[in-house]
Structure 1
Amino acid sequence: MKQIKSLYRRLLLPLLGGLVLTACEKDNGEETRISEFGPVKKEYVFDWKTSWANVGVLSNQPYDIELINPDNGWLTIDTEGRGTHFTGDDQFKVVATTNDGFPRMEGIRLRTHNRADTVYIKQKGFITPKLDFSTRSIMVLGDGGQATAQLATNLEPEDLRQSVVYTSTDEGGWISDLDISNGFLILQTAPNADPEALRNARITLSYRDGWNQTISSTVYLTQANANNEFGREISFGEVRDLVGIVNKDVYIEGRIISDIGNGNNGENTMTGQTSIDYTETYRTAYIQSLDGSQGFMIKTVSEDDNIFERYSKVRLLLKGVTVEAESNPERYILRKVTSAMVMSSVAGSAADIPQKVKHYSELTDMDIYTWVTLADCELPVRKGSLTPINEGYARNTGANRETKYPLLVRDRNGESFYMLTNTTCKYRRDGRMLPYGSGNISGIVVHESHDRFAWMGSRDMGDIGRYQIRHLTRKDIALAEDFENGFSALLTEYRYGKLESHIFRPTTGDNGYLTFTHPDEKTGDAGWGTSDPSYLGPIGNKDNLDKTGPTSGIHTGNVNGNGVVENGKQMCTDKETNNDGKGNLSSAEFSAWTNKCQWWNTETDRSEAWLLHFSTQGIATRVLSLQVAMQNRTIGGPRYIRVDWSEHGDNNRDDWNPITEFQLPDIVNWSYTLYWQCAGYKYIDIPLPLELLGKDDVCIRFSAANKKAGGREDGQFDNQIITSGEVAFSYIGVRYNK
């Protein structure tokens, strides 16, 4: 206690220093006395069983202790016969009896002649308070009369508070005589005299336990008009004709296919360069028609308004909803939805959802916001997690730059697309390796942009394809674990930098090599190792790894390092290579590799280039493709990358065959983060022409398409490439269908 007391004084003395100096001047240097008084801990939490604790007090003056409620019947003070008057640092014992009821709390008052403080003792209860309406909404006729709602509770009715809020435009007061009996809330409704308008209200029951914590449950009431009509049911197709604010009593019936709890419902939007609205995913739901042919995104006014439970069959009143239409692709969003608009909700199961199984090329705009299983898929970049980003720029370390990561997916037909995972997704980086075989991926088809992959001149325009898919559980990614159980095979693969004799060799097989046209001047090497965020877990600030909440770390233990297994051996399992929970592997691991040079050669007036050599002899296939993970490691590297092929491999010749061009994101800048900077490598799929087959030595060239580079605030990318531009890879693979 002397150490604690000394600490208190060290903290207090600097704060009182100004007062001491003043007192010295005024009182001729007389010493100022410091009043020290307070408990070591303000709160103790006991289990429901008989429990005790020693309560410590720090004081340099006399004080008394007493129970605030001495007749509480369960908590006693034991001072071992010393009474309740103390002087100086001391402690006393408190004892709680077994609590076979609900949680409870008692206070102990500490008093000096002029100061007071309180210690609170909280004890858990053997019984947990329960209060839940079995049905979230009820409908009553316009004639009025009795209505009931089933209620599951273990609380006494007299301990419950009642609240009635009228949410329609009427004057209210048409609900009366609320009573709780035999597991039901019973109430009376007055007749609705309006021949057209419906009436809505919500009734909330709440209970405050002994810890002053409140639990509550709400039921929503919809009353028909005077003609006992609940409005008119319309089809999903008819809703598409109601763009704008709906002012009619119409409703739709459909199935909820989203899951509010998984954190991956919808996109959490950037509200600034370093700010994200994390409520978006919890205000997002999806409803599809009962036959699964079309669907809508729902945006609720608040998180509490999102009462939509997965698989439930819901009737949703549309009056007051804003129907928003988006084009290219065509899709519809229901905005300003409140819980009061839920007319009925009936629980369902996965068996109630129509199973639509399609290949990516078969998707249409009508599939957007519906549940679809995409067939014959694989994750072709064989390393990392669902969100391979530097966590120093995400929520788990308290930063707000990255909202999601689009993970590359490829299917048997050679089509590629992105699977979206939010940084709020609970299982996104749980230490498990990704599956490397093929299978199906199920989820909600959406259309979203990603500026950090492709900047199109303004926010929310970054083109990552016409359709993406959002998974809701890890089981939705139903791919075989082993690569051998897939439809593709590898010609060559670079999963980490394997530098031999100045060039990079494949890490899977021995087909070909990777080099650079401007080697390091000192060593002659084609490049060197750099970091990448392919570590599987744990992630998050060290102080947060064992906590929960918006800045908590995902603390599931990692057993597979960076997710690369070569010949049955884990390539990295040392947790120390994880950079303070940011998910990075160090440059020493060669999990990525890079170079540094003047990318645009002013003498030849052409770009320097990475050159990938490999053989295609003996391969017969109808689908040949290249996958890369790339990033500019310095801001100001080439923004536009051109991919060509040839058999000669001479960068100074002009007879290269063009394949494609794409934007390459810059590494993210902490001090001034721009919307087109990315905290991870961009995964890209490049279909290759079948002309490449049957060649002894094919060379694929990655070069700057022009002199443009990032860095300007307006994102126009017309600055010239800087002299020390670095283009890094963390993966290269050439694969073909077996």
Structure 2
Amino acid sequence: MKEFKHIFQILGGLIMAAFITLACDKPYEMNLPLAVNSHKLTFENTSGSTHILIWADGNWKARFDRNINWGSLNKLEGTGNSDLEFSYSANYGVTRSVDLILTKGELCDTIVLVQNGLLSGDNVALSFKSPALTLLKNGYSVKAPISTSLIYSTDMIVPRVEFFEDGVSQGVIVAGEERPDTLHVEPWISNMKVSSEGGLHVDYDVAENGTGAARTAVMSLVVNAADGKVYTASQTVTQGVDTPALTLSETSGQYSGFPGSYTIETTANNVSSYGQYITCESSTDWIPAVSLTPEGLCFVLTKNETGAPRTGTAKVTFNDGAGTLLSAEYTITQLSYPAAVSFADLRAMAPGQLTEVKYIEGFIVSDPESANVCQSPQTGQFKYDFEENYKTAYIESVDGKYGFRLRFATIEDNVAERWSRVRISIDGLTLQRQDDPLCFTLDGLQAGSIIEVISAPDEYLVPTKKKTVAELTDDDIYTMVSLQNMEILCKDGSYTNCSDGYSIKDEAVNPYSGTTAPRWDTAPLLVSDTSGNVIYMLTNAMVPWRRNGTFYGNGTEVVAQGSGTFRGIITAEELVRYGDLGRYKIRPMSQTDIQFFSPAFSKTIVEWNWNDKVADVVPEIGSGTLNLYGATTAATADFNSMMSHEYDKKGQAGLVPNGALLVTRKWWDFGAGKGEYFDISFSTAGISGSNLVFGIVWNHGQMNNTTLDGPAHWNLLYSIDEGASFKAVPGDMLKNRSIVWWSGTGQDACPGYKDHLRVLPAECFGRSNVILRLQVADTVTDKVPPTSASSYLTNLGVEKATMTDKATSIRLGTITVRYN
């Protein structure tokens, strides 16, 4: 507004210069009866002031066309050529204006002053709290609550009412205006105004309905912004012929000692709209709030820490001052606040429905917004309940020692925020126990089961449990643990090495493929520590970042490459499609829980990953030999592509074409009764360390039901004497599972590759040549199971058949040897 001031100062200077110039020739005066420089001025929404020049040849006066609370003048009158200063406050509402009227005798001029608003269009909200209102026949005043974002522009909200008879409009009355001649009915609503006392609402008077029949009007709110935009809201008002009535559905009740809000329904209640005639009260300060709503009598109870039951009343009275007096009273007995039960004592209780009035207290360590809380239960042959994830939470004890899985009745009930400290009533919940490994679930929670929030979400109040994989016990299940010195085995590609042609189709997560008949929901990724101990990270199909990874210097978007802390919920879930995944698994709630900010602790001696998409046996990293002993090879797909890659957009379902190796031969010598093998050779000369590990990512089958009979069981052997003798690498046999196919998919077929890691004996360090041999252990293989929508849970084919004397294939995604 300083620009306007400067402009007027310049204009004034030019005029004065003209006076001086003309005065050199002959006397001159600018003799205008009444004039202004501009008839419209516009200002920004911020506060400010501006000067307005006025030319007149006598006394003049100034005023606004109406009272406003957002602008003022420094004076209301003056003489001759002069100016006014207009000051205005910031405008947090819609564009507004006022007319500045200047008069000199019978002469008059007008300047329109416009101030832009902060709100416009979709940012403006205006509505009645209820779309319809039913009134009694009595002639009462009414307060109709309204909601709006125009809290700084309520003076611009103008009520209007339109009357109807038999659905035909009988005319409109606007607040503040005279009754129009076009009104064809005696108005029964009058004195409308917007008021903020006791909450924003519209006040109006209603005449008694003596017609003997209901009558209808539409109350509207209108805001005419100065930029021409109009904002409206409406409410249908029906005045019936009923008289006041108020009756509660019950007159007493017993409540727990928890703090809470309650509503007692009414069987008759047509007076709640007449708040000015209603008085609500309680007999004691532990019932701090009482109100009457259309739903019933509402009251709030505080926590009963007296150690004994207590009794009080909540009462509502309706008194119109004209002889109608109604009241309803409710007697409340509140039991004492329950005692706490420890997590250990709750774990020791008998499984089943709990009836003790007690509570547990702990920290919510899961995130209700995360898509990775738990696996979705399979509810049909190709159907999953994806809501289960959002109905599940985890709570750990205040000391972090124990945890429970919490299963809420609905998604809406799961309202506890991550890192908040809460108290949960166990009364009425069902305790479920799983014995191997030992873990517990509390089922049947509702929002009201959370009886108190002790502290708001604060991550730094939650105990940090730093452990190694080897230190995990059953006590850690369903708690948040920060596993130390971790890194991902297979570092290329995504967090889910699965075919997304078989996962649920979702526009946000899986937009280029997927199906409405998914075959999988959760996939594992192997993570190891500096001691060679492993745990599988579980990731759901609906996790948005599972194929997004992290950008690195070469522009590749892949899983976390370094090492560090892996924070997540320890779970004991089983995935039938992947078989044994170890006793414990870990679920990150978000990608930021994978805090691998340090360099990778392991060094790669040799690795084949076929990321060059060449079907050979030349390693991509390091040096070594992969001897397949005459087996035929061909390129095949990997399943760990990133969603940013172009081939995803071609419906390839997350596959990396030619990103793995297909190896085919007869894998069992039926004459000799022993399995065939392939060898990996490498040197560890000059290398020492604490751990030497072998990792393999593999499975078999070409995604059809005729290639499932590859060998399932393999032994891992090693030799440090040039192959003269072989010893078994400690650990279970390695298993190779068949990959899913579309028609009649078996319940246990794997949706992609599975990661495996074995720690090699220390004597493999410092050797000029180490040979690892993967040898078929027996003739166990997979088969096509019988399929049925009614018996899908028993449609199992993995390790259910015997190999025959023919060539079959395995698929290799990654082979790696590392040490630290």
TM-score band by shorter chain is: 0.5 to 0.7
Identity over aligned residues, as a percent? 28
Change (3 A) 1:668 1:141: closer
1:344 to 452, 476, 483: 452
Q: Distance in 2 between matches of 1:391 and 1:260?
A: 25
Deviation at 1:603, TM superposition (A): 3.7
Match of 1:311?
419
Deviation at 1:519, TM superposition (A): 2.6
Cα deviation for residue 410 of structure 1 reads 0.5
2:569 pairs with 1:444: yes
- 2:539 alignment partner, SS class: strand
Instruction: Tell me: CA distance 1:99–1:514, structure 2 relative to 1, closer, same or farther (3 Å).
Output: farther
Q: Which amino acid aligns with 1:252?
A: I
Q: TM-score w.r.t. structure 2 length?
A: 0.57
Which one of 479, 499, 509 corresponds to residue 370 of structure 1? Answer: 479
How far apart are residue 578 of structure 1 and its match? 6.1
Equivalences for 1:563-582 in 2 at 5 Å? Answer: 575-576=646-647, 580=651, 582=653
For residues 141-152 of structure 1, what are the structure 2 equivalents within 5 Å?
none
Q: Who is 1:218 aligned against?
A: none
Kindly state the Cα deviation for residue 477 of structure 1 after the two structures are TM-superposed.
0.1
| 1:177 matched residue in structure 2 | 291
Letter in 1 for 2:647: E
Q: Are positions 1:584 and 2:655 aligned together?
A: yes
Say if 2:526 and 2:535, in contact at 8 Å, map to a contact too.
yes
1:198–1:224 Cα contact (<8 Å) kept: no
Look up the match of 2:681: 613
Paired position in structure 2 for 1:730: 813
Identify the residue that residue 379 of structure 1 maps to in structure 2: 488
Unaligned 5+ segments in structure 2 are 1-119, 125-167, 173-224, 236-253, 264-271, 275-288, 312-329, 506-513, 551-557, 702-706, 786-795
Instruction: Tell me the alpha carbon deviations over residues 139-176 of structure 1, each in whole angstroms, 9 at most, x when there is no partner.
Output: 9887999989xxxxxxxx989xxxxxxxxxxxxxxx97
Q: How does 1:131-530 map to 2 (within 5 A)?
A: 177-178=291-292, 187=299, 226=333, 228-242=335-349, 243-345=351-453, 346-396=455-505, 397-398=514-515, 399-430=517-548, 432=550, 433-454=558-579, 463-480=580-597, 485-496=599-610, 504-509=617-622, 511-520=623-632, 527-530=633-636
The Cα of 1:104 is off from its aligned counterpart by 10
Relative to structure 1, the CA distance from residue 449 to residue 177 in structure 2 (aligned partners, 3 Å threshold; closer, same or farther) is same
Opposite residue 656 of structure 2, the aligned amino acid is: L
Q: Is the 8 A contact 1:503 1:515 kept in 2?
A: no
**How has the CA–CA distance of structure 1 residues 230 and 224 changed in structure 2, closer, same or farther, with 3 Å as cutoff?**
farther
In the alignment, the residues of structure 2 paired with residue 47 and residue 405 of structure 1 have an alpha-carbon distance, to the nearest angstrom, of 46
Higher strand share: 2
Secondary structure in structure 1 of the residue aligned to 2:665: coil
Q: Aligned in 2, Cα 1:380/1:158: closer, same or farther, shift over 3 Å? A: farther
Give the aligned partner of residue 641 of structure 2. 535
The code of the aligned residue for 2:392 comes to T
Structure of larger gyration radius: 2
Q: Deviations over 1:259-295 (max 9, x none)?
A: 0111111121223332211111111101111121211
Aligned equivalents of 2:487, 2:447: Cα separation in 1: 39
Contact in 2 for aligned 1:407/1:418 (Cα 8 Å): yes
SS across alignment from 1:480? strand
How far apart are residue 637 of structure 1 and its match? Answer: 0.9
Paired position in structure 2 for 1:569? none
Q: 1:642 aligns with which of 705, 715, 722?
A: 715
Structure 2 match to 1:627:
695
- Contact 2:729/2:760 (8 A) holds in 1: no
Three-state SS of the structure 2 residue aligned to 1:392 is coil
Describe the SS at the equivalent of 1:596: strand
Distance 1:145 1:337, change over 3 A: closer
Q: Which amino acid aligns with 2:608?
A: Y
Contact kept, 8 Å, 2:719 with 2:725, in 1: the verdict is: no
Shift of 1:348: 1.9
Q: Does structure 2 retain, via aligned residues, the 8 Å contact 1:637–1:727?
A: yes
Amino acid at match of 2:808: G
Contact 1:198 1:249 in 2 (8 A): no
**Greater RCO between the two (CA within 8 Å, min separation 6)?**
1
| Cα pair 2:303 2:337 within 8 Å, conserved | no
Q: 1:70 and 1:281, CA in 2 relative to 1: closer, same or farther beyond 3 A? A: farther
3-state SS, counterpart of residue 747 of structure 2: coil
- Relative to structure 1, the CA distance from residue 321 to residue 191 in structure 2 (aligned partners, 3 Å threshold; closer, same or farther) is closer
Compared with structure 1, are the counterparts of its residues 142 and 283 closer, same or farther at alpha carbon in structure 2 (3 Å cutoff)? closer
Secondary structure of 1:619's aligned partner: coil
Unaligned runs of 5+ in 1: 1-45, 51-67, 73-95, 106-138, 149-156, 160-174, 200-222, 455-462, 521-526, 538-557, 562-574
Structure 1 residues 702, 578: CA separation in 2 closer, same or farther (over 3 Å shift)? farther
Instruction: Give, in whole Å, the separation in 2 of the partners of 1:142 and 1:443.
Output: 35
Aligned partners of 1:98 and 1:325: how far apart in 2? 66
Q: Give the distance between the partners of 1:724 and 1:687, measured in 2 at CA.
A: 31
Q: Separation in 2 of the partners of 1:380 and 1:100?
A: 62
Cα offsets for 1:554-596 (capped at 9, x unmatched)? xxxx2xx5xxxxxxxxxxxxx1376515110112xxx100122
RMSD of the alignment, in Å?
4.0
Deviations 1:103-152 (A, max 9, x none): 999xxxxxxxxxxxxxxxxxxxxxxxxxxxxxxxxx9887999989xxxx
* Structure 2 counterpart SS, 1:576: helix
TM-aligned CA distance change 1:246 to 1:100, over 3 Å:
farther
User: Partner amino acid for 1:528?
Assistant: A
SS in 2 for 1:666: coil
CA distance in 1, matches of 2:169, 2:642: 53
1:675 aligned onto 2:747: yes
Distance 2:259 2:675 in 1: 79
1:602: how far off? 2.7
Contact 2:636 2:661 in 1 (8 A): yes
After the TM superposition, which of the residue ranges 634-643 and 437-446 deviates more from structure 2? 634-643
Which residue identity does 1:681 align to in structure 2? Y
Counterpart amino acid of 1:678? C
- Provide closer, same or farther for how the CA distance between residues 736 and 638 of structure 1 changes in structure 2, counting only shifts above 3 A: same
Residue of structure 1 in register with 2:663 after alignment: 595
Q: Structure 1 residues 359 and 326 mapped into 2: Cα distance closer, same or farther (>3 Å)?
A: same
Query: What is the rounded CA distance, in whole Å, between the counterparts of 2:259 and 2:782 in structure 1?
Result: 67
CA distance in 1, matches of 2:799, 2:782: 5
Change (3 A) 1:178 1:141: farther
Summarize the Cα distance change of 1:299–1:654 in structure 2 as closer, same or farther, 3 Å threshold. same
Aligned partner of 1:59 in structure 2 is none
The 1:655/1:465 distance shift into structure 2, 3 A limit, reads closer
8 Å CA contact 1:142, 1:224 repeated in 2:
no
Q: Quick one: distance in 1 between partners of 2:170 and 2:641?
A: 57
Q: Secondary structure at the match of 2:621?
A: coil
In the TM superposition, what is the alpha-carbon distance from 1:318 to its structure 2 partner? 0.8
1:145 and 1:599 mapped to 2: Cα distance? Answer: 69
